[in-house]
Structures are given as structure tokens and as C-alpha cells.
A and B are shown apart, each in its own frame.
Chain A
Amino acid sequence: MTETKNHKPIREPLFHLAKRDNLPRHKALLIRLAAILVGMLIVCLFGLLIVGWDPFRIISTIFDGTFGTPNRRWDLFEKTAILLCISLAVTPAFRMRFWNIGAEGQTLIACLASVTCMLKIGDKVPNPVLLLIMVTASIIAGAVWAIIPAVFKAFWNTNETLFTLMMNYIATQITAYYVYIWSVPKGSGHIGIINANTKAGWLVSIGDYPYLLNILIVIVMTIVSYIYLNHCKHGYEISVVGESEKTARYIGINVKVVILRTMAISGAICGLAGFLIVAGADHTIIAGSVGGQGFTAIMVSWLAKFNPIAMAFFAFLIAFLGKGAKEITTLTGLDSSFADIVTGFVIFCIIGCEFFINFTIKFRKKEALPGAEAAKAEPVSENTEEQKDAVPETEEKNEEAIPDNDGKEGSEQ
């Protein structure tokens, strides 16, 4: 404050931007909440223009579409769980700055592994054994799909972004091939629900709640991920490799091993997600079984700054907005892409608000109101006593949806 007071305010522009060093956590949270509110306000305005509905009706419809009936609530939490599980999967790799955008393929190939078990040995082994085989096969399939690009990255430094992306297409094509081969009736390109009568390979439901087990498994995974990333040696190694490979090597971390191990874990969690999709919900497979969640998960992971607990919130938010906005399209007969637009608005605001977390806008002071101005400028100076943000290093890059790897990592080597 003192330095600005010494300046002569005459030639100052109307406002200017200043970098914030580190905003206290609760203020950053407030800014993010405000961003969600602004996003919702835009959604309401958009809704008013497109549908002609008042904001209260739009908001209440979104809530009704997600919480209106028990079925809707279960569906919402199940969607959240699957998205969260895939988000958890991509996170270890992201912390390592390994841009794994192959979660879609890793999950899909795991779905295929589960389906293969259901079809081929569904009637040969008892259900608990079958489920064990399925989950093992899925985890291995997901891990293998992730390790292939990791090997190439670790030994030949290939571009993992392109590699994992290509692996998605390969997984989709392999799935499409087998869906055709196994289709019933012949040539129809659909497998249909598998073991509908025997329910072999169907995840058991707890009580009357078919998705409860899915949700519980993902909650456990979230906690395990949090501990693994923040309170384990492995988690620390991942962060160091992400910061600088040279530093990692200097302090004796085997970088190749960390890359391979971390991608195997990434893929394995995708594998678990694939298993949950097949055994816990769909009981079949189509080429679009993962439905783009492998990519949405990247966004969830980034928005949450790789914090598993925050990811639970963002996964919920995205599932909530998507399902809620879908309700508006159903009631109005609008194109179903309306739901994507609504989600887009809110996400855009959340990402955009990072600007206000990293920068502050300083208005030209009015000489008549020195007191008021001092109060307004307070947050900037106040935060010195506060803790540093959890992952300040990543803040500058938050605005990149899909990060450019070459620029960052290439420069370090």
C-alpha cells in the first residue's frame, strides 16, 4: 500500500493489472464460486433467450432433472462416479507431466476385456470368480494400453500426447470389430445385454441400489488416490519427475521406472472404470461405451488441479450440469447439444476465473476516497501471512485445456 501512495496518481490509466503472488485459499475458493455463479447467470440469460424460460424455472428444472426422483439421483451419482474414476486415472500421469489423453481408449479396451470374459467364460465359472477374473482382465488391459506409449516415452522419448491419442482410435476400432463379430442377430452390429438371464458377470447390487457398489468403489479409490499422491513416496517421485527430470535423476530417482509405473497405475484405474461400466451398469459394449468421458476426465483433473477431493466436486458439477440441462432439452424439444453448451458456459467461467486468481485489477484511485481505496486494495497485501496454494506451479498453465507438451518438457532436456 505504501508504495502506491507515494506515486502521483495523475497519469495513471483507468485500471491496470498486477500479478498476485499467492491468494489465500478461501479467497481463491470464493472467486471460483463466484465464477460458477456467473456461469449460471449466463446459462440463465442464454436460457431466457433460447427457451424463453425465467431463471428460476431453468434452475429448478436443472435440479429437478438431477434430483427430482430417486432414479435420477442414482443415475447422477453413478455418472459422477464413473467420470471421477477416469479422472483419478489420468491424474498420476498428469502430475508427472505425462500428457495421457488416452484414457478413453484405456477404459474402452478394459470394457472389451470384461465383455470378453462375460461372453467366453460366463457360463463356466461361478459369478464371484467370474467377477474377479473380469476385474483382473480389465485392469491388465487398461494398464497394457497405457504402458505401450509409456515404454516408447521412457526409452525413445516419443510424443506421448499423440501416441496415447492414437491408441484411442485403435481401441475403438478393435472394439467395433468385436462388436460386429459377436453381434446378435448376425451382422447387426449389436451385442445386446450379455447374460441377461443368468446375470453372470453382473456386479451385485447392494440392497435395492444397483449402482451403490460402483459409487462406493470409486469413493474408496478417491481416498486411496489422495493418499498415494500426497502422502506416499511414489506420489512425491511423480511430482519431482513432473517438475524436472534432471532433478529427479540427480536425486537418484529412476525416471524410466517412475514413468512406466505411473502410467501402469493410470491405465489400471482406467481398467477399473471400464470394469465398472460393463459389470456395474451397461452389461454390454458398443464402440461408444466410454462416451467421451476419457476426455472430459482430463478437464476434471485440470480444473481440480490434480487434487482427487476437488475432482469429486468437478466431476459432480459436470455430471449435474449435463444431466440437468438435458432435462431442459427434453421438456422443450431443443437439440440435445444444448446440454453441452450449458456445461461449456460454466466450465468456461471457471477456467476464466483463474485469471482473477492470478491477477488483480487495480483501478485508478480517486483522491477523495483514500479510505475506500485502501480497503479495496487490501487483499493484495493481506495474503503474505497466508499459506501457499497447494500446487502453485501449475497455476499459470490452467488456461490450457490440452497442454502442449513439447514446450514444457523439451526445454528441460
Chain B
Amino acid sequence: MKKILAMLLTVIMILSLAGCGGKDGNDEGSEEYKNIKVGLICLHNEQSTYDLNFINAMKDACKQLGIPESRMIIVTGIDESNACYEAAKDLVDRGCNIIFADSFGHEDFMIQAAKEFPKVQFCHATGTKAHTEKIANYHNAFASIYEGRYAAGVAAGLKLNDMISSGKITADKAVIGYVGAYTYAEVISGLTSFYLGAKSVCPSVTMKVQYTGSWYDETAEKEAAEKLINAGCVLISQHADSMGAPTACEKAGVPNVSYNGSTVNACPNTFIVSSRINWAPYYIYAINCVKDGTAIAADWTGGFAEGSVELSAINDKAAAAGTKEKVDAVVADLKAGKIKVFSTSTFTVDGKALTSYMADVDSDEAYTPDTEVIKDGYFHESEYRSAPAFDIRIDGIEFLNAAY
């Protein structure tokens, strides 16, 4: 008995000795932001490229502003359920004055929390309701990622041209495969802009789209990519968050235009380029608003100019020669407003050019079209709300399954 007691005591002593070890690093940070405490709610953890993109941006923004880690709280693995509301309340309890959430389904729970805590700013990425809810402390943000997709599409088109000119495929076989998550406007806007980018340099291109019905399902994304490759697609891009499609492409030797960040390490032979949203500019903007006591815009959309839309480095091993120069020129034109991605002169619907389109900008259960979005010859994407609203199915794009 004594022995056991002695052993127990030893263990406790060792543990308490270890306990005397150093305290965490400095808590200082910059003087200017000393009253700011930031919270971020993430759907998954860093394993998901989507959430990682937000987490990295938050870390980057706080580092740039001099907000120490002790005043930057990131909670991961928060479902799109009451868990989000609980997480938001808890962040308020911790003293956060601005709280961000990263997943579309978090929106209503953020609104619920925003109504309860009017002094705290709630910023929700990808949401659609800020402009209709009109709550002073609730805001939406997005990036004009369709411009990034368009530029990435140009790189894809150049690759297709390269394949045609080298005799690998004929012009009519220039078929892009696209793995999408849901039939939601965000995905349709992305895939259409990507297609229009490719079409701007390779006029004969067509596209096939396969949906998975999930934002993160590695197996389904892989299988969708394989199905598209078997259906004759010679280049794949995706709008879903796992490595499913890129790895399927690498295995099959089919070029891939990625999303959320470069996948060149996993796919050195097939990765061409990737577009992604950099959330750091928005985070900096919103945090500065809190610091200065100014209002945060209900809808905020950043583009190439703000640094919100980014293209990764181009992988010369897979991309066609001269891609970088062409893409740089396109990005410069997008920045200057010379290129309108959804110009009605570049696409048709059922064989006709579009002159008018009422989009469902104010989300409602009946999907009522409420806003005229075609003016001055182009679709005004992300202007009436930050989240994309382009949900038109244009000619040249075939939807293999529309169940989702």
C-alpha cells in the first residue's frame, strides 16, 4: 500500500513540476488594436482546403494588424446547426467584438446571434441575407471569384488550344469536365465564368458538369472526375473542397485547374493553375471598421484589385507555353474593367442572346425573381448582393446530373 501511495505521490510531483513550466508567449500585440478581439467559426478543421483558406487568412490578417494569437479565437468543427449559434454566443462571452463565420449554412445562426448581441459585429462569408435582414451588426462578404475563374479558364483554354495544335485532339473534342457541389448560383456562376474564360481563347470548347451534392466528399468528387474523364473530357476543373478531383486527374494524366489553392504538390504533372479567394483583405477591412467605430458594409465584394481574388503560380510542366503572359494580361484587363466576364455578347441561352434576366437576389422560399441584373450589355454579378446570383444555364454547358 505504501508503495502505491509513494508512486502516486511521485507521479503527482512530476506532473506538478512540469506544471511550473513556462507561461505562454507575449500577450502584447499592437497598441492600436488592443481592444480588438476576433472570433472565427469554421465548419471543418484545417484538413479541409476550404476552411484552411479562411484560417490562414485570419492568421495573416491578425499578424498584419498586430493582433496577438491570444485575441484571435478560431473554433473549428462547428456544424451548420444550433452549434453555430452556441459557438457565436460563446465567442461573445469571451469578449470578441467581431465574429466571422465561414460556411454558407452558418448564416441563419449568425443572424440569430447578431440580433441578440447588437454591440458585436457578425460577419458572414458567402451569405445572402444581410441586404434583406437589415441588421446593423450583421454583414455578408464575398469576392468576385468569377473573375478569378475566368482568368483560370483562359489558362485552360490555352491548354486546349495547345492540345488541338499538337494534334492530340480535334477542335470539336475540346471538352472540359467540371465537378460541382450543388446547383446553387455560387457554383453555376463559377463554372460559367470558367467556361467563358476558356471560350475566349478556344471558341470550340464545350463543357460537361457533374454534381456531387456535397461540398466535401472526396470519394464522390473523385468518381465524378473519373466519370467525366471517361465521357471524353480532356481537362477537369472543380468547385468542391476535397482533393478528390485533382488526384483523379493526376492518376489519369488529365490536366486540372484547381480551386482554393495550389495542388501542385499532390499533382505535379497535371496541375495548371488555381484561383482562390483571399479573405485577409476583408478581415482587415472589417476589423479596422470596428477599431475606428465605422459601419461595416452590409455586402462587401473584393476583387483582383483588393487582393481578394488570387491566382496561384502557374505550373509550367502542365500549362501551355505563354500561359503566364496571357493570363497576366487578362487579369490586368479585369482589374481595369475592360473585360466584363458575363458580357451578353459572349454567350447565348437556347440559341438567343440574353437581354433581360430577373435574378433571385433576395432569397426567399419561393425563389421569386426580384432584380433585373442585365444592364449595359452584361450580367451585373455580385453587385446587388455580395454572393453570386448568376444561375443561368448557357449554351455549350451540359449538365450531366441536375439532381443536386
Chain A residues near B (Cβ < 8 Å): 41, 44-45, 48, 52, 54-57, 68-69, 71-72, 75, 176, 180, 182-190, 192-193, 196, 281-284, 286, 288-289, 291, 326, 329-330, 333, 335-337
A44 to B14, CA, bound (A): 12
A193 to B77, CA, bound (A): 19
Contact (A336, B79) CB under 8 Å given A54-B20, A190-B104: no
A326–chain B nearest beta-carbon distance, Å: 8
From A44, A281, A336, B15 is in contact (CB under 8 Å) with A44
B128 CB-CB contact with A under 8 Å: yes
* Cβ–Cβ < 8 Å partners of A284 in chain B: 81, 108
Decide if B79 touches A288 in the complex (CB within 8 Å).
Answer: yes
Contact (A281, B19) CB under 8 Å given A180-B213, A185-B128, A192-B105: no
Decide if B82 touches A192 in the complex (CB within 8 Å).
Answer: no
* Cβ–Cβ < 8 Å partners of A190 in chain B: 80, 104-105
Decide if B19 touches A56 in the complex (CB within 8 Å).
Answer: yes
B109–chain A nearest beta-carbon distance, Å: 7
* Cβ–Cβ < 8 Å partners of A192 in chain B: 105, 107-108
B371 CB-CB contact with A under 8 Å: no
Closest chain B residue to A189 by CB distance? Answer: B182
Contact (A185, B213) CB under 8 Å given A54-B20, A72-B90, A196-B112: no
From A41, A71, A196, A281, B89 is in contact (CB under 8 Å) with A71
Chain B residues touching A, range: 35 or more
B337–chain A nearest beta-carbon distance, Å: 28
A329 to B19, CA, bound (A): 19
A342 to B269, CA, bound (A): 41
Decide if B93 touches A330 in the complex (CB within 8 Å).
Answer: no
Decide if A188 touches B182 in the complex (CB within 8 Å).
Answer: yes
A90–chain B nearest beta-carbon distance, Å: 22
Decide if B86 touches A55 in the complex (CB within 8 Å).
Answer: no
B31 CB-CB contact with A under 8 Å: no
A29–chain B nearest beta-carbon distance, Å: 20
B7–chain A nearest beta-carbon distance, Å: 12
From B73, B360, B363, A330 is in contact (CB under 8 Å) with B73
With A184-B365, A185-B363 already in contact, 17 other A-B pairs whose C-beta atoms are closer than 8 Å? A45-B15, A52-B21, A54-B16, A71-B90, A184-B367, A185-B128, A185-B360, A186-B183, A187-B182, A188-B104, A188-B186, A189-B182, A189-B404, A190-B105, A192-B107, A288-B79, A330-B76
B285 CB-CB contact with A under 8 Å: no
A181–chain B nearest beta-carbon distance, Å: 10
* Cβ–Cβ < 8 Å partners of A57 in chain B: 19
B75 CB-CB contact with A under 8 Å: yes
Decide if A188 touches B184 in the complex (CB within 8 Å).
Answer: yes
Decide if B108 touches A330 in the complex (CB within 8 Å).
Answer: no
B46 CB-CB contact with A under 8 Å: yes
From A44, A187, A291, A333, B184 is in contact (CB under 8 Å) with A187
Contact (A186, B73) CB under 8 Å given A54-B16, A54-B18: no
A185 to B90, CA, bound (A): 28
From B80, B86, B107, A75 is in contact (CB under 8 Å) with B86
For chain B residues 275-294, which have a beta carbon within 8 Å of chain A?
A: none
Q: List 25 A-B contacts (CB under 8 A).
A: A41-B11, A48-B18, A54-B21, A55-B19, A68-B93, A71-B90, A71-B93, A72-B90, A180-B213, A183-B184, A185-B128, A185-B363, A185-B367, A188-B104, A188-B182, A189-B181, A189-B404, A193-B108, A282-B81, A283-B82, A286-B105, A291-B79, A291-B81, A335-B76, A337-B45
Decide if A281 touches B367 in the complex (CB within 8 Å).
Answer: no
A162–chain B nearest beta-carbon distance, Å: 22
A345–chain B nearest beta-carbon distance, Å: 16
Contact (A187, B404) CB under 8 Å given A54-B18, A335-B46, A336-B77: yes
Decide if A329 touches B79 in the complex (CB within 8 Å).
Answer: no
Closest chain A residue to B92 by CB distance? Answer: A71
B360–chain A nearest beta-carbon distance, Å: 6
From A44, A176, A289, A330, B74 is in contact (CB under 8 Å) with A330
Residues 57-100 of chain B: 1 if any A CB is under 8 Å from the residue's CB, otherwise 0?
Answer: 00000000000010001111101111000100110010000000
B16–chain A nearest beta-carbon distance, Å: 7
Decide if B363 touches A69 in the complex (CB within 8 Å).
Answer: no
Decide if A55 touches B15 in the complex (CB within 8 Å).
Answer: yes
A194–chain B nearest beta-carbon distance, Å: 9
Decide if A184 touches B73 in the complex (CB within 8 Å).
Answer: no
A46–chain B nearest beta-carbon distance, Å: 12
A186 to B73, CA, bound (A): 33
* Cβ–Cβ < 8 Å partners of B182 in chain A: 180, 187-189
* Cβ–Cβ < 8 Å partners of B169 in chain A: none
* Cβ–Cβ < 8 Å partners of B184 in chain A: 183, 185-189
Decide if B74 touches A333 in the complex (CB within 8 Å).
Answer: yes
B154 CB-CB contact with A under 8 Å: no
B245 CB-CB contact with A under 8 Å: no
Closest chain B residue to A68 by CB distance? Answer: B93
B391 CB-CB contact with A under 8 Å: yes
B29–chain A nearest beta-carbon distance, Å: 17
A68 to B79, CA, bound (A): 22
A73–chain B nearest beta-carbon distance, Å: 11
Decide if B19 touches A54 in the complex (CB within 8 Å).
Answer: yes
A48 to B109, CA, bound (A): 35
A291 to B187, CA, bound (A): 27
Decide if A336 touches B76 in the complex (CB within 8 Å).
Answer: yes
Most buried by A among B20, B46, B73, B182: B182
B401–chain A nearest beta-carbon distance, Å: 12
Closest chain A residue to B112 by CB distance? Answer: A193
For chain B residues 236-292, which have a beta carbon within 8 Å of chain A?
A: none
